[in-house]
Amino acid sequence: MNTSQPINRIWRLVLPSAVYILCAIIASNAFASQVTLAWDPSTESDVAGYRIHYGTVSGSYSVHIDVHSVTVYTLTGLVAERTYYFAATVYDSAGNESGYSNEIGYTVPALKTLPWLQLLLQDEK
């Protein structure tokens, strides 16, 4: 009895689906929503770094990212068609942190489906 035949049959059924899922993951990562934030450096002499704060409610920041000493930062993985609110703070080497900067809001544009991915998904139905 050839035991490789059932395994080959399973691979023929599973592999195409796995490839389609992988293509969808690659496509979604390649076109993930992002925003690049930039700000003027602080003129204080003892600046150790900056933090970006953001969330989906104005004035309420649920995510806090230490970006160290950079003044340009790209956030990825944002949800399309959702509005995000951003503010920055600066901190010194003793750990003292400033108040929030002025807040900016940004609505992530809708993602467009890739034509080849749409056709691929239609063929699966």
pLDDT digits (tens, 9 = 90+) for 40-91: 999 888 999 999 999 999 999 999 999 999 999 999 999 999 999 999 999 9
Same domain for 43 and 101, yes or no, is yes
CA 15 to chain centroid, in Å, comes to: 28
Same domain, 78 and 100: yes
* Whether residue 99 sits in one domain with residue 42: yes
0.85 exceeded by the pTM?
Answer: no
What whole-number distance in Å separates Cα of residue 77 and Cα of residue 31? 9
Task: For residues 23 and 79, state if they share a domain.
Answer: no
User: Are 74 and 25 contained in the same domain?
Assistant: no
Q: What is the CATH number of the domain that holds 117?
A: 2.60.40.10
CA separation for the pair 96, 47 (Å, rounded)? 10
Nearest to 80 by CA among 28, 115, 120: 28
pLDDT digit string, tens, across residues 1-13: 555 454 444 444 4
Domain count, the chain: 2
**What letter does residue 97 receive in the DSSP assignment?**
B
Q: Which domain holds residue 100?
A: 32-124
